[in-house]
Amino acid sequence: MTVDYAKKTVADVPVDGRRVFVRVDFNVPIDQNGHILDDRRIREALPTIQYLIQHGARVILASHFGRPGGKPQPAYSLGPIAERLQTLLGQPVEFVPEAVSSVAEAAAQRLAPGQVALLENLRFYPGEEKNDPGFAEQLAKLADLYVNDAFGTAHRAHASTEGITKFLPSVSGFLMEKELRALGNALESPKRPLVAVVGGAKISSKIDVLNHLLPRVDRLLVGGGMANTFLKAQGLEIGRSLVEEDRVPVAKQIISQAGAKLALPIDVVVADRPDPTALPEVVSIDQVPTDKMILDIGPRTADLFAQVFQTAGTVIWNGPLGVAEIPPFAEGTLGVARALAQSKAVSIVGGGDLVGILEQLGLAEQMSHVSTGGGASLEFLEGKTLPGVAALEDKA
């Protein structure tokens, strides 16, 4: 079978002495004062950057940061991120206050082998998100080789993820390779049984994922807000829970297609409202009071999921199983995460919210693979071609 995620990497091409433009994802969370809350995305890019330094490349890094809307906005400058990168790398990083123009070109020219520069925020330029060929060509002028290590942005066809590949030989970085291998193997050649756990708020945002996964997986476990629409489709009372009435028909269709593959909650945690002071109560799935909301899966459901993990070869999990950002409703997600960590299954976790919660709970490290890309991993699981991946050279 040909797999379109087998891409050349920096290790497959000569880099010694070359100017290498590396698209990274340094879109880290910051607080109101601009302090970096979590530098995981910077740390995840280090293997590629260190490899290039060690192999004598002249490294030009570029990223987007926030949503400055195509114009310079000091709050979204990558300056502070250059400082953090410098600390993590343990060597100087030149911050270049532009991404194109004579300033950027001079900075790229000045670099000696093994030196690193970080360009200013790509989204300070309207051409970036418009995938303007002129802007892409200006970026390409800075280098001899293009490396994409920004998996989290690979589902976007922007100048720095897609347009630039028209002008330079283009390969993937090690983070991109790791992401594509983990997600690709899970879908194309998984250790079976293959189990998918899908949660999150809405069924509408994950219908394509459910439909793509269903024929590929051996079991499909559904929790979170989206489970409510399935429960409703089965004629169960769901009280005042989040539900998408217009998606009941599609839920019915998935239920009949899935047959015994599908597992829905058998008990749930209900309360008056999604609030830290609300009093949570566990009820059987046929005992949901009309005036309450389902806010988490119950302990028997978590046990059921845990049992499935015991014989699973691979588990792909996307989306939290309850309103896990509010502690009383995090137990289901926590219990299932612990069970997954303890199981022998290859565990592949994705989704911005779920990954954030697992990190808070200190369980992310115990998964086989945590995807850095929320939207990108979702589109991968939908079976879509990611433009930033498709544009890279195939492995010979």
Find the catalytic residue in 56, 352, 356, 395: 352
The beta strand positions in 111-169, using DSSP E, are 116-119, 145-148
* Interaction partner, residue 322 (Mg ion, ligand ADP, none; CB < 5-8 Å by kind): ligand ADP
Find the catalytic residue in 41, 123, 156, 247: 41
Nearer to ligand ADP, 28 or 295 (CB): 295
The alpha helices in 157-282, defined as continuous H runs, are 174-188, 207-213, 226-233, 248-258
What does the alpha-carbon distance between residue 201 and residue 181 come to, in Å, rounded to a whole number? 28
The position carrying tokens 């989704």 is: 351
Closest CA to 10 of 178, 153, 152: 178
For the question of residue 375 being annotated catalytic, the response is yes
For the question of residue 202 being annotated catalytic, the response is yes
CB of 330 to ligand ADP, least distance (A): 10
- Of residues 311 through 350, those in contact with ligand ADP by CB under 6 A are 318-320, 322-323, 325
The position carrying tokens 């050649």 is: 189
- Cβ atoms 305, 339 nearer than 8 A: yes
Q: What is the DSSP string of 79-139?
A: HHHHHHHHHHHTS-EEEES-SSHHHHHHHHHHPPTT-EEEE--GGGSHHHHTT-HHHHHHH
* Interaction partner, residue 225 (Mg ion, ligand ADP, none; CB < 5-8 Å by kind): ligand ADP
* 163 in contact with ligand ADP (CB under 6 A): no
* 353 in contact with Mg ion (CB under 5 A): yes
What does the alpha-carbon distance between residue 94 and residue 83 come to, in Å, rounded to a whole number? 9
Dihedrals phi, psi of 119, to nearest 5 degrees: -80, 160
Count of residues that bind ligand ADP according to CB under 6 A: 19
* Interaction partner, residue 320 (Mg ion, ligand ADP, none; CB < 5-8 Å by kind): ligand ADP
Contacts with ligand ADP, 211-250, as mask; x by CB under 6 A: -------------xx----------------x--------
Residues 6 or more apart whose CB falls under 8 angstroms from that of 323 comprise 225, 274, 295, 296, 329, 330
User: Which position among 57, 354, 386, 389 is part of the footprint of ligand ADP (CB under 6 A)?
Assistant: 354
* 379 in contact with Mg ion (CB under 5 A): no
Nearer to ligand ADP, 125 or 380 (CB): 380
What does the alpha-carbon distance between residue 269 and residue 39 come to, in Å, rounded to a whole number? 34
* 352 in contact with Mg ion (CB under 5 A): yes
Binding piece for Mg ion, criterion CB under 5 A, among 250-258, 323-331, 335-343, 348-356: 348-356
- Tell me the catalytic residues: 41, 202, 352, 375
Residues in contact with ligand ADP by the rule CB under 6 A: 200-201, 205, 224-225, 242, 294-295, 318-320, 322-323, 325, 351-354, 374
